[in-house]
Structure 1
Amino acid sequence: MTNNNFAWLHRGITEIFPNQLDSENITDNLMQLLLKSDAKGTPRDRPLRIKLGIDPTGTDLHLGHSIPFRKLRAFQDQGHTAVVIIGDFTAQIGDPTGKDKVRKQLTAEDVKQNAETYLQQLRPILDFDTPDRLEIRYNSEWLSSLNLAKIQELLATMTVQQMLAKEGFNNRYTQETPIYLHEFLYPLMQGYDSVAVNADVELGGTDQKFNIAVGRDLQKYFGQKPQFGVLLPILIGTDGEQKMSKSLNNYVGLKEDALSMYSKLEKTPDSLLANYFELLTDLSLQEIPENPREAQKLLAVEVVSQYHGKEAALTVQKTALELISNQNLANAEAVPEFSLNNVEFPAKLFYILNVSGLVNSSGDGRRQIQGGSVRLDGDRINDPNFTIENSLELANKILQVGKKKFIRLIS
């Protein structure tokens, strides 16, 4: 069996486990399941159930979050059922993976609101419309009803030594950072999700291998056929150094306006271009232009098209060129607008930069002005105390920070 039939599966993945494809004593493998039969040739009687869980711990998703969901869509397109687990119960515990201290616990109301915005952001990626291709489940459906006897049964399936083998727990134990008992429940509950939905495959980042493996163990314990794990890489952010994260300000948000997305992506570091094309688009890697600048522009158009449509992507490409060259600023299309109605004048420009979201704080606004990164209708502003007397002075002007952030001020 060659992998050519499974190019869609192998694109951009790090690992499939267990991988028994080369074993002489093969009993089953994911490829055979995808070919609609087991090792003995017995046909499957249903599509595979592909699980992907996400804990709604915030309000914004970024392109890094999109990677496993794009793979989930690939499974949908092959006729399988995507089972999206909204971790409304587990989010109140918090996944300890990759954390050097206990996560803040969220309220049920916080989680509910976050879940609604997550699903809205995932609509451009997943097939929500084809019958039997998507199940959306909330794990409070089964986890909230677990009694003490059932929780004790789950806890008895693992040892403390097994838990401490998890990298995050091991590091915290070695550094004598507190590990709370409720955190040990998280991998067990995520694993029990696989039992509850009878998952055949679970998708996750490379940091989720331990949790997915716990799901396999629990499925065996409860008499189910254990799931396969498909691991995907963690996306490096636009800084080219650290993983994509809102807190590091190296992210591209799924609900960002088209111009902001385009402006960030067309500055993708050369070293990340091949990786971004592989993980964030469906283009053949042979189609990537050799010229890095052309590759950056193609990447930006392809990704923006997924979330805003091709016409919008081409429009903002034109707008970005006009803004960067400081030409036709007044007529530049697709620039997001910011209303000055709630700004009290006279006002410092650094304050407007802050309240409009172009910078993270007023102090950051002052630093950007002093560093020469701020332009107003193409004119560089260098005075950190630059003051605007009334909103009419700014009406319909474009305020710009660096080469990636623009807004049109309206009064």
Structure 2
Amino acid sequence: MSFPTVDKQLTIIKRGTVEIVPEEELIEKLKTSRKTNTPLRIKLGCDPTRPDLHLGHSVILRKMRQFQDLGHHIILIIGDFTALIGDPTGQNKTRPSLSAEDIKENAATYLDQAGKILDREKTEIVYNADWLGPITFEGVIKLSSKLTVARMIERDDFSKRFNNNEPISLHEFLYPLAQGQDSVHLKSDVELGGTDQKFNLLVGRDLQRDAGQDPQVCLMMPLLEGTDGTLKMSKSYDNYIGISEEPNDMYGKVLSIPDELIYRYYELVTDIATQKLPEIREKAAKDPRNTKHDLAFTITRMYHGKELAKSARQYFEQTVVNKEIPDDAPELEFEPGTSVRLLDIISEANMTQSNGETKRLIKQGGVSVDDEKVSDINHELTFNEGDEYTLKVGKRKYAKLISR
């Protein structure tokens, strides 16, 4: 195959990228790749610690897809071995390791969702337990000799914990070495990661150099802010937009981001052509409302198709703008003379993902019955013959509660 010019590849690769270490080496690798008609080996490691992917994860996965579309060979590493250690990056305490069963289950879900972004047919999927698992204790000692404790303590999260007299387990020092050994085993040319992964990526360069390999280039992508506009997108912060969210929820959540993030989302998580981005920036500054609706439509279309994106926009207009009950709101029937906890009704109707989320919504005033907010998590509804209630959960979910 023929590769695009190096300049054209760089334009695509650098879109949204925070740092390339070192950029001049990437240019040389691209030149050699084009001259020899050999694709670069692009590596991304993913520890399946959580089963759900969100738009924050898509930032790096989309960069992988861009390399893929340029003709390069991408390798997605499922860190079934490193997940047993637990990545200490960004942690102020030792991260608990997962069971092998949890890892396997999460990995399957992860791959299904990653396939919404990557071309699965052209993606090499590997598991690092295949080469890290057989390493003997002697091998671990030899690998540990490659880095000093002083170098490890330079790492920001370790230094903070050390200075605060917070415990650092020895096994956490092994994580960057294990990730770096992935690069040696796979002979990667480029490794991708978030800005918080810089230390780990650079360790891979050191280990490759020590193994006599041409060291990889490290490409860092930004951490996407969530719907609150402040913290990085995370399920833990409840500010995430899942790539498998229902179309109506996805559309509505995108509309909830602050105006100042409109351009950033366009740049990092959409398929809008790079040459159109300056026009988007200008439009977002002049008309943020409609630009944000266009963004919500674009993102929903990417994951659910044009027709469902149109339906999501209509649903938003109907339920939020016009405050109407949607025609397809589910009807839930209850026996006359019964009393049922609202918490149980919401959970059994799968209107939230957990009882914890339901309780939080009730406490924050996000649940109403017949337009009256409910703040008591133990609130009960009593159903008499012919009673009808309209239940609203969050900003976009409705149900009709009927007794007959």
TM-score, normalised to structure 1, is: 0.86
In structure 2, the partner of 1:315 is 311
- Following superposition, the deviation at residue 340 of structure 1 comes to 7.5
Q: Which of 44, 48, 54 is 2:40 aligned to? A: 48
User: 1-side partners of 2:321 and 2:399: how far apart?
Assistant: 16
SS in 2 for 1:304: helix
User: 2-side partners of 1:391 and 1:62: how far apart?
Assistant: 44
SS in 2 for 1:346: strand
Gaps of 5+ in 2: none
* Aligned residue type for 2:103: V
Shift in CA distance, 63/37, structure 1 to aligned 2, threshold 3 Å: closer
* Aligned residue type for 2:356: N
User: 2-side partners of 1:254 and 1:392: how far apart?
Assistant: 40
SS in 2 for 1:53: strand
Q: Which of 16, 21, 24 is 1:17 aligned to? A: 21
In structure 2, the partner of 1:33 is 29
In structure 2, the partner of 1:79 is 71
Asked if the contact 2:390–2:400 (Cα under 8 Å) also holds between the matched residues in 1, the reply is: yes
Q: Which has the higher helix share?
A: 2
In structure 2, the partner of 1:24 is none
Asked if the contact 2:318–2:326 (Cα under 8 Å) also holds between the matched residues in 1, the reply is: no
* Aligned residue type for 2:340: A
In structure 2, the partner of 1:67 is 59
Q: What is the RMSD of the two structures over their aligned residues, measured on CA atoms?
A: 2.6
| Pairing 1:216-255 to 2, within 5 Å after superposition | 216-255=205-244
- Following superposition, the deviation at residue 357 of structure 1 comes to 4.5
Shift in CA distance, 66/5, structure 1 to aligned 2, threshold 3 Å: closer
* Aligned residue type for 1:374: V
* Aligned residue type for 1:186: Y
Deviating more after overlay: 137-146 vs 303-312 = 303-312
* Aligned residue type for 1:126: L
Q: Which of 250, 265, 271 is 1:261 aligned to? A: 250
- Following superposition, the deviation at residue 402 of structure 1 comes to 4.2
Q: Which of 337, 347, 352 is 2:340 aligned to? A: 347
* Aligned residue type for 1:143: L
TM-score, normalised to structure 2, is: 0.87
Aligned residues with identical type, % of pairs: 42
SS in 2 for 1:35: helix
- Following superposition, the deviation at residue 366 of structure 1 comes to 3.7
Asked if the contact 2:15–2:267 (Cα under 8 Å) also holds between the matched residues in 1, the reply is: yes
1:58 aligns with 2:54: no
Deviating more after overlay: 320-329 vs 65-74 = 320-329
Shift in CA distance, 398/35, structure 1 to aligned 2, threshold 3 Å: farther
In structure 2, the partner of 1:387 is 381
User: 1-side partners of 2:70 and 2:247: how far apart?
Assistant: 29
In structure 2, the partner of 1:324 is 320
User: 2-side partners of 1:345 and 1:247: how far apart?
Assistant: 36
Gaps of 5+ in 1: 21-28
1:406 aligns with 2:397: yes
Asked if the contact 1:12–1:278 (Cα under 8 Å) also holds between the matched residues in 2, the reply is: yes
- Following superposition, the deviation at residue 391 of structure 1 comes to 11
Asked if the contact 2:17–2:220 (Cα under 8 Å) also holds between the matched residues in 1, the reply is: yes
- Following superposition, the deviation at residue 320 of structure 1 comes to 1.1
* Aligned residue type for 1:125: I
* Aligned residue type for 1:235: L
